[in-house]
């Protein structure tokens, strides 16, 4: 299945990321008023044996969006210290998936972030994660 020629209006390729993010990409992003907005097309290498979007892939994608939202609040190096995800729906080959994330709170050295992955209006995954400034 060929990838659609273009992501939705306003999204630009998210280049120059780290090796793992590049390896599981490509990803796009779009400037957002609040938090961050990422996106990707489900390609063959994102799927499981049942031919649907692999849960671990949605989680890894969303982890990147959550980390980006933490960094937007506090522009300093940080690492994920915990993450909890709920899966509510499945994605399929060719789908355009969006990830939205926004920092909710922070203390001296932690940032709490929430986000969700969506296909259109359907929430596929919701995540709550904590990042630690390092």
Minimum CB distance to a copy of itself smaller for 31 or for 51: 51
Minimum CB distance to a copy of itself smaller for 33 or for 49: 49
How many C-beta neighbours within 10 Å does residue 16 have? 7
In the bound complex, what is the minimum distance in angstroms from residue 33's beta carbon to a copy of itself?
18
Minimum CB distance to a copy of itself smaller for 80 or for 95: 80
Task: List C-alpha distances in Å: 89 to 21, 49, 75, 100.
Answer: 23, 17, 32, 16
CA separation for the pair 3, 69 (Å, rounded): 27
Interface ranges with a copy of itself (CB under 8 A)? 17-24, 44-50, 54-57, 59-60, 63-64, 77, 79-90, 104-105, 107, 110, 112, 114, 116, 122-123, 126, 128, 130
Minimum CB distance to a copy of itself smaller for 10 or for 92: 92
CA separation for the pair 111, 125 (Å, rounded): 20
In the bound complex, what is the minimum distance in angstroms from residue 8's beta carbon to a copy of itself?
21
As a whole number of Å, the CA-based R_g of the chain is 14
CA separation for the pair 103, 132 (Å, rounded): 13
In the bound complex, what is the minimum distance in angstroms from residue 35's beta carbon to a copy of itself?
14
In the bound complex, what is the minimum distance in angstroms from residue 28's beta carbon to a copy of itself?
17
């Amino acid at each position: 299945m060929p990838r659609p020629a273009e992501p939705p209006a306003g999204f630009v390729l998210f280049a120059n990321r780290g090796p793992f993010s590049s390896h599981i990409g490509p990803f796009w992003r779009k400037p957002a008023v609040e938090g961050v907005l990422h996106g990707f097309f489900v390609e063959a290498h994102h799927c499981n044996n049942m031919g649907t979007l692999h849960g671990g892939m949605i989680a890894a994608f969303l982890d990147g969006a959550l980390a980006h939202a933490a960094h937007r609040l506090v522009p300093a190096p940080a690492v994920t210290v915990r993450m909890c995800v709920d899966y509510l729906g499945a994605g399929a080959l060719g789908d355009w998936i969006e990830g939205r994330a926004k920092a909710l709170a922070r203390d001296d050295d932690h940032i709490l972030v929430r986000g969700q992955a969506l296909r259109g209006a359907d929430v596929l995954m919701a995540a709550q994660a904590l990042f630690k400034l390092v």
